[in-house]
Amino acid sequence: MKFGVRLNSYHFNQYTLKPGKMNPQLSNTIKKAMYCREKSDYDDFYIVSRKETEQQLMQAEDFLKTVREYLTDKI
């Protein structure tokens, strides 16, 4: 059995970004990542460029850093 956290962008926006707990720019990071994931899952020939991959990776690292800092402050 696989355990984990599934990110629901609506709830993340509603409970974390709108109240000002984190930078609203994180919403765009999630949207872009979900778009690329869905395209790669459902399009027959979706090819991601190296530049786009590097940008996604940098944004994911920033996202994780921000969430870790937020959670560390809350614990």
Assign 8 a pLDDT band (cuts: 50, 70, 90).
low
69 lies in which domain range?
48-75
Question: Is residue 13, in this structure, part of any structural domain at all?
Answer: no
Question: Is residue 56, in this structure, part of any structural domain at all?
Answer: yes
**pLDDT given at position 50:** 93
Task: Convert the pLDDT of each residue in 34-70 to its tens digit.
Answer: 888 888 888 888 888 899 899 989 999 998 898 898 8
DSSP structural state of residue 43: S
Q: ∠ CA 69-10-67 to the nearest 5 degrees?
A: 5
Question: Is residue 39, in this structure, part of any structural domain at all?
Answer: no
CA distance 45 to 58: 24
Tell me the whole-structure pTM to 2 decimals: 0.70
Q: Is the pLDDT of residue 32 over 80?
A: yes
Cβ within 8 Å of residue 24, ≥6 positions away: 17
Query: How many domains does the structure of the chain reveal?
Result: 1
Q: Is the pLDDT of residue 12 over 80?
A: no
Return the SS3 of 18: coil
CA distance 30 to 46: 19
